[in-house]
Structure 1
């Protein structure tokens, strides 16, 4: 690959990853019923609204699930993957196949995001357990729907919450399953965010 093209690919991949993270966070905000007045929530909303609001006019929500947000994540990921394919291999790839790859990649990015949030929760529970920083409050709200069902089964023991450990394990298993599907679909990691 031409070195200049390589630099362009790196820039596109970085910016696309950041935007995809914002779209996934927007979906998680709605799913977790997180505080939309939190300053970080407001930033996520402002960044995602320009592309999300037009989609919402044609794709309604369903059972409290923001389908437009999911469609935006998949379409955006598919488009970026095709751009990366053209830059990397000078050709398009079957859009149907790329859409499946994008689905796997988007789920993989969401799992990495959850792991990052859980890591923040674990670290701050030791160094700043009573912090009311807006970012920490938002992260706790986002992870609560994932942690709560596990905490009902595995309550804290001696002040230690082992639910995070089991959620980490569950996410690792999910990532392995995604990797199996990716291998079966001959996913090309160079063009898919998350791989």
Structure 2
């Protein structure tokens, strides 16, 4: 395969895996915070991730509030992605380092999702303060951020009408 073809294939594998893994991780995070699953975005995530998650749930039970099937699926997909990408690049990497890279990249993804959702919530609070009651995305973002922001709001004082807790969270 030519270098251009290999690069294109690597790019496609990377993008498709990252999108699906992000959907699985977002579904896991929304389930963890008990977000509204009647929300259209939640329903989309359930529809997209169910074909792989439902069979896994029959085999892997949840532990307390943690959906272990989602964790195993996200980790397995990330590991498979890294295996495919390293094979396309012609690299021989052991399973141990790839597993660690998978865990680290999934942790990074969770941090990036929280950073993005906090920024979205801040921007929406400036543009349309009551949007979380009318906009499905705003409500879901608020549900996702609230467990992280609630303790910070108790500690960080507001200045006038400005909530500084998102700055501390970021």
Q: TM-score range by the shorter chain?
A: over 0.9
How many residues are paired up?
167
Highest relative contact order (Cα 8 Å, sep 6+), 1 or 2?
1
Distance 1:92 1:58, change over 3 A: farther
Q: 2:92 and 2:29 mapped to 1: Cα distance?
A: 31
Instruction: Give the 5 Å matches for 1:77-116.
Output: 77-89=78-90, 91-116=91-116
Q: 2:24 and 2:92 mapped to 1: Cα distance?
A: 25
Q: 1:37 and 1:95 mapped to 2: Cα distance?
A: 39
Matched, 1:153 2:155: yes
SS of residue paired to 1:57: helix
Q: Which runs of 5+ in 1 are unaligned?
A: 169-195
Query: Partner of 2:169 in structure 1?
Result: 167
Ranges of 4+ aligned residues in structure 1 off by more than 4 Å = none
Q: 1:148 and 1:60 mapped to 2: Cα distance?
A: 30
Query: Partner of 1:5 in structure 2?
Result: 6
Query: Partner of 1:121 in structure 2?
Result: 121
Q: Which runs of 5+ in 2 are unaligned?
A: none
Q: 2:157 and 2:62 mapped to 1: Cα distance?
A: 34
For residue 118 of structure 1, report the CA deviation from its aligned partner: 0.8
- TM-score, normalised to structure 2, is 0.94
For residue 92 of structure 1, report the CA deviation from its aligned partner: 4.1
Q: 1:162 and 1:93 mapped to 2: Cα distance?
A: 44
For residue 154 of structure 1, report the CA deviation from its aligned partner: 1.7
- TM-score, normalised to structure 1, is 0.82
Deviations 1:110-151 (A, max 9, x none): 111111111111111111111121111111111111111111
For residue 160 of structure 1, report the CA deviation from its aligned partner: 1.1
Q: 2:157 and 2:61 mapped to 1: Cα distance?
A: 38
